[in-house]
Amino acid sequence: MGERKVTVTSEVGLHARPAATFVQTAAKAAFDVTVAKAGGKPVNAKSILSVLALDVRQNESIVIEAEGEGADELLDRLAEIASAP
């Protein structure tokens, strides 16, 4: 299983537009993708409600996990979205 640890740098955290972009990107995958606050319980990264419920704020760390063909590329893209200012 692939994994990326990322610090969210956006002023709004992983909310609003960044969350929507994150979820839309994850939803394109044919395999399961999860996201969690560091040390927290993973949620479905394809669910906007689940991602918003994490309440990830600026400078908090998240862990994104996925397994399947193309997972590394997807994880890199999701990490890029989450760490964009």
Q: How many domains does the chain have?
A: 1
CB atoms within 10 A of CB 49: 10
The Cα-based distances of 60 to 24, 49, 73, 76 in angstroms read 21, 19, 23, 18
Chain center to CA of 14: 8
Burial of residue 51 (CB within 10 Å: 0-12, 13-18, 19+) is buried
CATH number at residue 13: 3.30.1340.10
Task: Give residue 35's pLDDT.
Answer: 98
Task: Tell me phi and psi for residue 44, to 5 degrees.
Answer: -70, 120
CA angle 43, 53, 63 (to 5 degrees): 45
pLDDT higher than 90, residue 66: yes
Q: Is the per-residue pLDDT at 1 higher than 90?
A: no
Model confidence at 85: pLDDT above 90 = no
Tell me which residue range forms the domain holding 18. 2-83
Could you give the strand order of the β-sheet that contains 61-66, starting from the edge strand earlier in sequence? 2-7, 61-66, 33-37, 43-44
Mean pLDDT of 46-69: 97
Active-site amino acid positions: 15
Interval 3-51: pLDDT, tens: 999 999 999 999 989 999 999 999 999 999 999 998 899 999 999 999 9
